[in-house]
Chain A
Amino acid sequence: MTSEHRPGSNLPFFVAFSLLGGSYVVLILAMLAADIFKTSPIHFWNALSSPEIRYSIRLSLISCSITAILALWVAVPLGYLLSRTEFIGRTLVDTVLDIPIVIPPLVVGLSLLILFQTSPGQFIQKFVPITFAIPSVILAQFAVSTAFAVRTMRVTFDQIPVRTEQVALTLGCNRSQAFWRVTFPQARRGLLTAGTLAWARSLGEFGPILIFSGATRMKTEVLPTTVFLELSIGKLEAALAVSLLMVVAAVIVLVIARAFGLRGAGLI
């Protein structure tokens, strides 16, 4: 027997993995390329000139921004509590938070619609019209995208050493001071990440909005609704132009998120 051993080339390993993994990247790029070649600048111009599409762009940008802010309001405290504290029903809360992620978005919309048909829902609607109005768009986006923001904030707080907060407590802080002075400043990147993910997720939300808000032009029409409506009347080019606008917006958001270290945190 000899101790000599040649491990062999690493090339087949990397070639096999690159081919398998690369096939998915090629599929995404091929879909985008097909969209781009099927449309032209004139289609973009026509789409942007349409008052209905301009309205849907405006409503999408405003509703997604409001949703992202509302999602962070919930995600920061909930993510922190799930990361740092033990309480009765924690596993249940954790499971409940997965529901909007795993159930079909249409079901979220249907559930919201039914919720606002109940007595408490009807009572609220006496003061603020929600169903088939603009608040329903924001609520439908919020119902789905907040779950992603909470997950992101929880991972962010998990990655911040609890020891720094404990040291702050020994230095004279109460829990609130320790959170705002020591933990929260360390969570800034995660906050931006959670906000951008909630924004991007809201931008693509269609199912719950269709059910809960309807698809009324110049009223509850957001960009995915526009794609649906343009397709339903046979305007494929306009639908493609709006789709590509959404792709550009999503790419911008993802670039921002990556630039702020989301990739390093393993979140996307």
Chain B
Amino acid sequence: MIELDDLCIRQGAFALENLSFQVPSGAYSVLMGKTGCGKTSVLECVAGLRTPVSGRIRLHGHDVTDLAPGARGLGYVPQDGALFRTMRVRDQLAFALVIRHWPVRQIDERVKELAGWLGLEALLDRFTHGLSGGEAQRIALGRALAFHPRALLLDEPLSSLDEDTRGELTSLLKQLHARENLTVLHVTHSRSEAERLGDVIFRLENGKISEKGP
């Protein structure tokens, strides 16, 4: 479960006050709202990339508000994928496992498993230059899932893709959610995307969160 309790976020003149919502364990939740309403700021707070002014963030009952991003055990996929330009696809997928000092054989097995799920086998030895938007997002997804995160945070992962690729990735996200029994918080401005994917839909409007249901 991801739980936000009275969260306040401020950046310059922009502020979000007293945000509270809960994402049930194993649910695919979507946080939607207009561009600039603060969805990404909320996601960054959960990921540990932004410090809230006040309020608490709990993950499966544990308070993670003061933990460093890497100690929260959350997978994070930003809007543009943010792939590491100097690494091959194989190294991107293995990155979190190398940091965690997994044995080489287990890293290889996990990379192969992820590449199989995400259709990346043919790309493993390539650098990221020249990859399509869909390929880049699948790699970013695999990189975030590699270490079996406790929850997955997705920041508009489909917004820069063409319609066909968006459809493919939507199916892939549904499959992965079911297979890994993941708790997901997905941020988007697209109502259709929210309705296709969300078990729970939250709407962020005028600084207030409301639950819309699926």
Chain A residue at minimal CB-CB distance from B82: A163
Do A172 and B96 contact each other (CB < 8 Å), given the known contacts A166-B49, A166-B69? yes
Residue among A167, A186, A188 with the highest chain B CB neighbour number at 10 A: A167
Residues on B with beta carbons closer than 8 Å to the beta carbon of A186 = 84-86
A170, B86: Cβ atoms under 8 Å? no
Residues on A with beta carbons closer than 8 Å to the beta carbon of B85 = 164, 186
Residues on A with beta carbons closer than 8 Å to the beta carbon of B147 = 171-172
Report Cα–Cα, A181/B74, bound state, in Å. Answer: 20
Chain B residue at minimal CB-CB distance from A187: B86
**Nearest Cβ distance between residue B187 and chain A, in whole angstroms?**
15
- Which listed residue (A167, A177, A185, A188) contacts B78, Cβ 8 A? A167
Report Cα–Cα, A181/B95, bound state, in Å. Answer: 9
Report Cα–Cα, A52/B76, bound state, in Å. Answer: 63
Report Cα–Cα, A164/B74, bound state, in Å. Answer: 16
Chain A 165-208 against B: per-residue CB contact (8 Å), 1 yes, 0 no? 01111111110010001100110100000000000000000000
Report Cα–Cα, A207/B75, bound state, in Å. Answer: 56
Say whether chain A's binding surface is mostly helix, strand, loop, or mixed. Answer: helix
- Which listed residue (B78, B80, B86, B95) contacts A171, Cβ 8 A? B95
Residues on B with beta carbons closer than 8 Å to the beta carbon of A169 = 48-49, 68-70
Identify 17 residue pairs between A and B in the complex whose beta-carbon atoms are under 8 Å apart, listed by A's number: A161-B80, A164-B83, A164-B85, A166-B78, A167-B76, A167-B78, A168-B84, A170-B70, A171-B96, A171-B144, A171-B147, A172-B70, A172-B147, A173-B70, A186-B84, A186-B85, A186-B86
8 A-B pairs closest in CB distance: A171-B96, A185-B86, A163-B82, A170-B76, A172-B70, A169-B69, A172-B99, A170-B69
Q: Which residues of B contact A (CB under 8 A)?
A: 47-49, 68-70, 72, 74-76, 78, 80, 82-86, 95-96, 99-100, 140, 143-144, 147
A168-B95, A172-B70 known, 6 other contacts, Cβ within 8 Å? A166-B49, A166-B69, A170-B75, A170-B76, A171-B95, A186-B86
